[in-house]
Homo-oligomer: A and B are copies of this chain.
Amino acid sequence: MYAISLGDDGAELRPLEPWQAEEFLAHVRRGRDFVGRFLPLSEVVWDLESSRAYLRSYAQKAATDTGRIHGIWADGQLVGVVLIRSMDVGQGVAEVGCWLEPSAVGKGLITRAARSVIDWAVEQRGIHRVEWQAATANTASIAVARRLGMTKEGVQRESFPLRGERYDMELWSVLAPEWRAARAAAATAAVAASMP
């Protein structure tokens, strides 16, 4: 029942829950080739049962306050996901991740959705450090990290195996003070731009 508008095109961010396992499965299947290049999604979710198990694992994370999953809907269809893979409120650290079906790419949906999620983590939950990981070759994901104002901190060499290969994973992050400063700057710029 809850939804956050992601812009004028009607796209929305909403909670994604276990009862939506069928819809989630269809989404994973549509995105298999595209999303699957850098994420082992179809290895984890391949039928209704595994889809429900995946969403339940995130419902458990919500219950223990260690993660969250949100869906992006466009034109009435689930086209992407923004998730807090892990969150340690005591440590003040969270890792955010995302993916998008090819049909929904290029509209800025992920960036806007990730901003809502990071805002919540930083402002509502006191997270100090938000991390983002992406394969070096996943230029789209790295572009999102950059647009979110994140800093590249290093490369975890050969840390992620996928279908017989091992990928280097870049580690990016944004700290709470940086996040707030960037938002303030953006707000100032928006005001300036709207001046006659």
Chain A residues in contact with chain B, CB under 8 A?
A: 1-4, 14-15, 17-19, 56, 59-60, 62-65, 89, 91-93, 116-117, 119-120, 124-125, 128-129, 131, 151, 153-161, 166, 171, 173, 175
Q: For the A-B complex with A1-B119, A93-B159 known, give 16 more contacts whose Cβ atoms are closer than 8 Å.
A: A1-B4, A1-B117, A1-B124, A2-B14, A2-B15, A17-B65, A19-B125, A91-B159, A91-B161, A129-B156, A154-B155, A154-B156, A154-B171, A157-B173, A159-B173, A171-B171
**How many copies are assembled?**
6
> Contact between B128 and A156 (Cβ–Cβ < 8 Å)?
no
Q: Report the separation of the CA atoms of residues A1 and B70 in the bound assembly, to the nearest whole angstrom.
A: 11
Establish whether residues A19 and B89, one from each chain, have CB atoms under 8 Å apart when the complex forms: yes
Contact B1 A129 (CB under 8 A): no
Cross-chain contact A157 with B151 (CB below 8 angstroms): yes
Q: What are 30 A-B contacts defined by CB distance under 8 Å?
A: A1-B116, A1-B117, A1-B119, A1-B120, A2-B4, A17-B65, A18-B63, A18-B64, A18-B65, A19-B65, A19-B89, A19-B125, A59-B63, A59-B64, A92-B161, A92-B166, A93-B159, A128-B158, A128-B166, A129-B157, A129-B159, A153-B154, A153-B156, A154-B154, A154-B155, A154-B156, A156-B171, A156-B173, A157-B173, A171-B171
